[in-house]
Amino acid sequence: MNLLMCPVCREALSLSDKTWRCVNQHSYDVAKQGYVNLHVVQHKHSKNPGDTPESVQARRAFLSAGFYAPLQQAVVEKIRELRIENLLDIGCGEGYYTNAMQSEVMQCVGVDIAKNAVQVAAKLNKNVTWVVGTGATLPVLDDSIDLCTSLFSPIPQEEILRVLKPQGYLMVVTPAPEHLYTMREGLFDEVKPHEPHKFVEQLKAHFELIEQPIVESVFELNQEQLKNLIAMTPYAYKAKPEKRKKLEQQEKTELKAAFQMYIFQKR
């Protein structure tokens, strides 16, 4: 079953000779890297939306070193437990988590607004349907998805409700209050704890919270690894430059990652 939806007329897309087409003859070619761009011009708000190439490369370097592997493993185990067939990863980025998710499902779609991120992701795993697209119009058909995942990404609630099957699941991963606390202390004059529970409040009208585990790990970074971590986060442009420079001069930095995972079920 093809899951993709035409972003212009919202009809089903089918793949033939490396081109996705709908019944109205709107067509979208698969790029040589292996992804399809369904982010149509009328939905764009900037020429190159999403993460910068520098941020994407920093994230690839940091994540491929395995520092967030405990979270990746926890996500994969949860997907296995839920016995998911069709999965949509919203904000898949350069594909670190999506690549691991694919092994547990029949069909996996990864979507991100940043074309440069999807280009990198598409080289990882040819069994994922990689899509450049927007959460404002998720590029999949109504009632087609067993699980939507949003790891550190926006949560377009109305669109998620549209694409999820009845009793489908939503997995949200967001920083827990203590996530990278010592790094944030080094970057900012005042550190505000993350408030993950706000997502529960936002979603409670249409989703039932069924699980809320926290995944934690402690690791030590050298200078290059710390620079990559900062560069892949919003702190890269929010932190004071002099504080960032001072922190990045440390030989070694020990940090604690704390991820809040929420599993919701559509009411």
d(CA 206, CA 160): 10
Q: Which two tokens stand for residue 145?
A: 């998805």
Residue 186 labeled ligand binder: no
Residue 68 labeled ligand binder: yes
Contacts (Cβ under 8 Å, ≥6 apart) of 189: 240
Q: Which two tokens stand for residue 222?
A: 């050298």
Number of Cβ within 10 Å of residue 81's Cβ equals: 11
DSSP state of 164: E
Residue 26 labeled ligand binder: yes
First-to-last C-alpha distance (Å) of the chain = 25
d(CA 259, CA 9): 38
Residue 108 labeled ligand binder: no
Written as one string, the DSSP assignment of 25-61 is --EEEBPTTSEEE---GGG-SSSS-SS-HHHHHHHHH
Return binding residues for Zn(2+).
Answer: 6, 9, 22, 26
Return binding residues.
Answer: 6, 9, 22, 26, 68, 94-95, 179
Return binding residues for S-adenosyl-L-methionine.
Answer: 68, 94-95, 179
